[in-house]
Amino acid sequence: MSDLTPIDPTMTPAWEALDLRADTFDPDLREWFAADPQRTQKWTLSAADLYVDLSKNLIDEDVLDDLLALAEQTNVAQLRDAMYAGEHINVTEDRAVLHTALRRPATDTLMVDGQDAIADVHAELAKMYAFAERVRSGEWVGITGKPVETVVNVGIGGSDLGPVMAYEALAPYVQEGLKCRFISNIDPTDAGETTKDLDPETTLVIVASKTFTTLETITNAKVVREWFLNALRERGLATDEASTAEAISKHFVAVSTALDKVAEFGIDPANAFGFWNWVGGRYSVDSAVGTALAIAIGPEGFADFLAGFHAMDRHFAEAPARENVPLIMGLLNVWYGNFLGADTHAVLPYSQYLHRFPAYLQQLTMESNGKSVRRDGTPVTYDTGEVFWGEPGTNGQHAFYQLIHQGTRMVPADFIAFANPAWPLADGDADMHELFLSNFLAQTKALAFGKTSEEVRAEGTAEEIVSARVFTGNRPTTSIMAPSLTPSVLGQLIALYEHITFVQGAVWGIDSFDQWGVELGKVLAKQIMPAIEGDAAALAAQDQSTRALIEYYRKHRG
């Protein structure tokens, strides 16, 4: 058993060294690149299929030495090994953290709490793959004998963001004739708009919820069941108890760790796919939570996806510290956030298919590392979890890049691009993907090297607007490239960010695997509901602002 007592990172010699270094740090990427023609080669690493160019970061050998020392002095590698081994590193929930076990080969063994986790994972995968194959082949039919055309995933947070992000990212791999839709928000608009044009006879609903108690998901699942049964009844179907039960069993399946609650909801546990409490919601897209994806891209595609995760897991576990991409990227984030004053971090995929990737990363990183106390409950005295955000390029260029280029805040950014497009379109002679990539390259170049006042003047710019047209440069970016956005590469990218998040949490000594911060709002929403419905005592019990808002609502609701 490892000693999981967190270390206050600010008390380490490495933190002190970084603090001192930051005081006099005066990065000059133009100068650094000019002085060292090998800089890009030195600072470019590879991890599985990813080519990761760190050379445009504000880092030199001294900073790297101190950051690696910080990782050592805060026991990052020990915590990583404890995580991979199934120790209960999620201390506030007393749980193992084993998303890495979800993608290990069937030949491995890993005993967790007296049970072989790898055998369990592969048994469940086999069940999910067999089901996915039945749906894809048309063998699984609905109540009127028609094959499934639309899969509706009802879930929220980790039970939604991963599946929808990966489904969108892997669109070229989706079987023709099949589509997925996703309902997450308890705003009735979401269920209403998503079901309004669906044919219940060809719809399969997956209710995905780790706990099977989440208000949004259970409410949406009930509403969708109501829509489904009403639509069938309008067609003279599902008119008695037996045919209703048959319709539900053919059109509703579940994914959960709580199979008893699945049965209570009315879904046959034989049509449920399980996972384990050692899989955090935001780390679960590679478990049965990915059932919609497995149906869409098929078992082979899903197995490739898992292989991609596993390749990155191995890299994180085995690559030496100086070549370890998640380790160094996580430490760079600590450098920027704790020593150079960055509050946010942008993720900018130059791939329309990755348009939900920043949203996915927001849950992964911010639910994991938005914490103010360490694993032992002691308060932190330093910043944790930066705000992650982003949009696909080039859309972001015409929206918020202005602030990244010339604003007063430092926004470290990750740029992601692929050599091969899924759509090889051209505008006359101009290959569109190359136009796209020239933007990807131009942005990191402009951010790193900027444009001096002399260069602006040399263009004949009027003196009074020279300063407005100067780019300071020295704005840090990481460029990540891969040959193509395949299922495996997507798995590698997700695992990369999982481990970056892990490294940051480990340095900060926090529990990156609980999420107590989302609980209070859930409890209060339940208490407020009666007040909205008109219960005078419940209304009187509210604070003045909440009471006034409820009164406004009741007055204006038609």
Q: Which residues bind ligand F6P (CB under 6 A)?
A: 156-159, 209-211, 214, 217, 281-282, 367, 515, 518
Q: How far is the CB of 158 from ligand F6P (least distance, A)?
A: 3
CB of 517 to ligand F6P, least distance (A): 9
Q: Nearest distance from residue 157's CB to ligand F6P, in Å?
A: 3
Distance CA 290, CA 284 (A): 8
Closest separation in Å from C-beta 106 to ligand F6P: 26
**Contact between residue 345 and residue 411 where contact means Cβ atoms under 8 Å apart:** yes
The Cα 377–Cα 55 span in angstroms is 38
Report, as residue numbers or ranges, the catalytic residues. 367, 398, 522
Q: How far is the CB of 256 from ligand F6P (least distance, A)?
A: 8
| Helix H or strand E encompassing 63 | helix 61-73
- C-alpha 409, offset from chain centre: 24
Q: Which is nearer to ligand F6P, 29 or 510 (CB)?
A: 510
- By CB atoms closer than 10 A (0-12, 13-18, 19+), residue 382 is middle
> What one-character DSSP code corresponds to residue 100?
G
Nearest residue (CB) to ligand F6P, 287 versus 474: 287
Helix (H, G, I), strand (E, B) or coil at 101: helix
| 462 torsion bin: left (phi>0), alpha (psi -120 to 50), beta (else) | beta
Give the Cα separation of 366 and 349 in Å (integer). 19
Q: Which residue's CB is nearer to ligand F6P, number 214 or number 365? A: 214
**CA 259, CA 211: separation in Å to the nearest integer?**
9
CB of 294 to ligand F6P, least distance (A): 17
Q: How far is the CB of 501 from ligand F6P (least distance, A)?
A: 14
Q: CA quadruple 54, 55, 57, 62: dihedral positive or negative?
A: positive
Q: Which residues contact residue 61 at a Cβ distance below 8 angstroms, ignoring those fewer than 6 apart?
A: none
Which residues, in sequence order, are bridge partners of residue 348? 415
What DSSP string describes 249-309? Answer: HHHEEEEES-HHHHHHHT--GGGEEE--TTS-GGG-TTTGGGHHHHHHHHHHHHHHHHHHH
Token couple for 149: 């055309």
Please list the residues that pair with 232 across neighbouring strands.
none
DSSP code, position 514: -
Q: Partners of 255 in the beta sheet?
A: 208, 273
Query: Residue 347: phi, psi to the nearest 5?
Result: -120, 120
